[in-house]
Amino acid sequence: MSEDDERQQCPPSDLEFVSNKARNCNATGSGSGHPELQSVYLDQVLENVLENVLHFLTSKRDRNAASLVCKSWYRVEALTRSELFIGNCYAVSPARATARFARVRALHLKGKPRFADFNLMPPDWGAHFNPWALAMAKAYPWLEKVNLKRMSVTDDDLATLAELFLGFKELVLVCCDGFGTSGLAIFVNKCRQLKVLDLIESEVSDDESDWISCFPEGESHLESLIFDCVECHINFEALERLVARSPLLKKLRLNRYVSIGQLYHLMIRAPQLTHLGTGSFSPSEIAGQGDQEPDYVNAFAACKSLVCLSGFREIIPDYLPAIYIVCANLTSLNFSYANITAEQLKPIISKCHKLQVFWVLDSICDEGLQAVAATCKELRELRVFPVDAREDSDGPVSEVGLQAISEGCRKLQSILYFCQRMTNTAVIAMSKNCPDLVVFRLCIMGRHRADHVTGEPMDDGFGAIVMNCKKLTRLAVSGLLTDKAFDYIGRHGKLVRTLSVAFSGDSDMALKYVLEGCPQLQKLEIRDSPFGDAALRSGLHHYYSMRFLWMSSCRLTRHGCQEIARAMPRLVVEVIRSADEEEMDDAVEILYMYRSLVGPRTDTPKFVTIL
């Protein structure tokens, strides 16, 4: 959706009437001999043609661009849009969205900013799905798909989806909270055409409700079932029956309460799986010592279509050889919960020649990353997470592993790399060896860590990334960085859309370089950096074109934030304090600014002040 479009809107029903009328006119139809009527008729014909063309336009950016051409394109684009993406639930009201887009079948909606994932935002801040659910129920009774990220979803909201959208098919909840197993039970019981239920990194409360057994009896339409984030026991017998009667099931990700023995029974009933999350990948505590082990190798061998493997939540490494047989076909492997060593990884990764996506813990050390580099020549995305995220921990991966990846995986497009020490030389090497990088996120966990070999700031490394990686759109910086690094970003990061900054910079000039030099910047996240009111003012020309700005533990004042609010009335300026903190003094702990077509929200909690 073009959130910042302020054009006058025409009711979609008017356009629908005109389009239907034009379809019923023949080539020599009414209006002949009347120039004004002929002109109207030609406009209607052109809109009908345009409507048929725009049905094939799927990219939301292309659609946004099309809607800005003229009023006619604006109307037709709205009428033909079946999938609605809103990057900030407070940027537009449900009423305004439903008034403009009349035929939506799929909604993608985002709520809280990303820093909420790191407990930097007080709970109960907002992003409630309820007003959207009620508005959609009135406007789109035919709605089929909802994809929510960082939204607060209640059990009642799930009931609304199930009861009021009779043809509902897909629900994806990413990093959401507020609901429990009792809400899931109502939802799955009443959604008889459900194809996708994906619960990803969401907080699901245990209401002691047996939600798995609530799926309707008979053959299921399920194609994807993901519940690896649900931290409670499930009814395995009901799950086994559900999988057995779901012949279309392709994606199944299990939680840690599913043992490897239970996984075996599911796999032999669903050999058609393409994506599998293994659950615990360890035996059940109640398994008898004398029980014969199932043939796990044959179970994996039967899954000939398997291309994506994840899970391993409480892994027993002795069972890893069972997956060797599927490694040659894998394009995605997620070991981000598996605390395994380099020696345990090597026999697996040496068979993964087709691998394109790999997530792993730093327990594999530099040696494990060297093994990845030696085999995975098709790798496009790598994420290396820390086992121990403390700032003073001994990080087992370093510049050695990063440089090995850059030399061996030259098709890399995205990397997230947590470490404790790094060098400019290794980062520069990556910029030269992997010029197709679109995402570069280097998280040096210790604050203000310099190049651990030379003692110099990490300026030149990050400077090389923005200079040599011409496709870069997302960048996260860390370590000891001076204003020079931000000068590099401002001068060369012309396509950067998302920038995350932590514990970096010398002065307000650093932020000024970025705000004045990065024309495509949409999302800017900053924490614990020495940027104050002057830096904030330097972005006045740019804030209306950004999705949001987040600043926490910087050097902002309430007066400086009020200046921005007065200068930009269509910008919502939220000042946030801790939930148990009294009224603020002039210092601002958290600033969250975002553009909005409808002004300040009405559901602000007491710890949020909108200036």
Residues of the chain with pLDDT > 90: what percent? Answer: 78
- Compute the average pLDDT of residues 336-340: 95
The answer to whether residue 461 scores a pLDDT higher than 60 is yes
Lowest mean pLDDT among 97-106, 125-134, 141-150, 434-443: 97-106
Contact 304, 274 (CB under 8 A): no
Confidence (pLDDT) at 75: 80
| Predicted pLDDT at 66 | 73
* Cβ partners under 8 Å of residue 561, min gap 6: 533, 536, 573, 575, 588, 591, 611
Segment 45-54 mean pLDDT: 68
Q: Mean of the pLDDT values across residues 118-137?
A: 92
Q: What are residue 416's DSSP bridge partners?
A: 383, 441
Poorest-confidence range of 410-424, 477-491, 578-592?
578-592
Residue 160: pLDDT band with limits 50, 70, 90: very high
In this predicted structure, the answer to whether residue 156 has a pLDDT above a threshold of 80 is yes
Give the pairing of strands 308-310 and 251-254: unpaired
State the pLDDT at residue 7. Answer: 34
Looking at residues 57-72, what average pLDDT do you find?
76
pLDDT at 367 over 90: yes
Q: Quick: pLDDT tens for 393-428.
A: 788 999 999 999 999 999 999 999 999 999 999 999
Mean of all residue pLDDT scores within the chain: 89
Confidence class of residue 105 from pLDDT cuts 50, 70 and 90?
very high
The model's confidence at residue 77, banded by pLDDT at 50, 70 and 90, is confident
Residue of 102 and 410 predicted with greater confidence: 410
Whether residue 580 is predicted with pLDDT greater than 50 in this model: the reply is yes
Query: pTM of this prediction?
Result: 0.89
Per-residue pLDDT band for 122 (boundaries 50, 70, 90) equals: confident
Name residues whose C-beta falls within 8 Å of residue 207's C-beta, 6 or more positions apart in sequence: 180, 181, 182, 183
What single DSSP character describes residue 532? B
- pLDDT 10s digits, 167-177: 999 999 999 99
Question: Per residue in 412-445, is it b (16+ CB within 10 Å) or e — as a string?
Answer: bbbbbbbbbbbbbbbbbbbbebbeebbbbbbbbb
pLDDT, average across residues 267-287? 90
The two three-digit tokens of residue 19, written as one number: 């389009």
Closest CA to 549 of 513, 599, 499, 492: 499
pLDDT band at 1 (very low <50, low <70, confident <90, very high): very low
Q: Residue 13: its pLDDT value, please?
A: 32
Q: What is the mean pLDDT of residues 368-372?
A: 98
pLDDT recorded at residue 70: 81
| pLDDT of the residue at 18 | 30
Q: Give burial (CB, 10 Å; 0-12/13-18/19+) of 242.
A: buried
Task: Compute the Cα dihedral for 277, 282, 284, 285 and give only its sign.
Answer: negative
What is the Cα–Cα distance from 256 to 194, expressed in whole angstroms?
24
For the CA atoms of 27, 30, 35, 39, what is the dihedral angle to 10 degrees? -60
The mean pLDDT of 381-397, rounded to a whole number, is 89
Average pLDDT over residues 202-227: 95
- What mean pLDDT comes out for the span 12-33? 35
Strands of 466-547, DSSP E: 474-477, 498-502, 523-527
CA angle 512, 518, 524 (to 5 degrees): 75
In this predicted structure, what is the pLDDT of residue 143? 94
Q: Is 105 exposed, middle or buried (0-12, 13-18, 19+ CB in 10 A)?
A: middle
Q: Is the per-residue pLDDT at 29 higher than 80?
A: no
Confidence of residue 23 (pLDDT cuts 50, 70, 90): very low
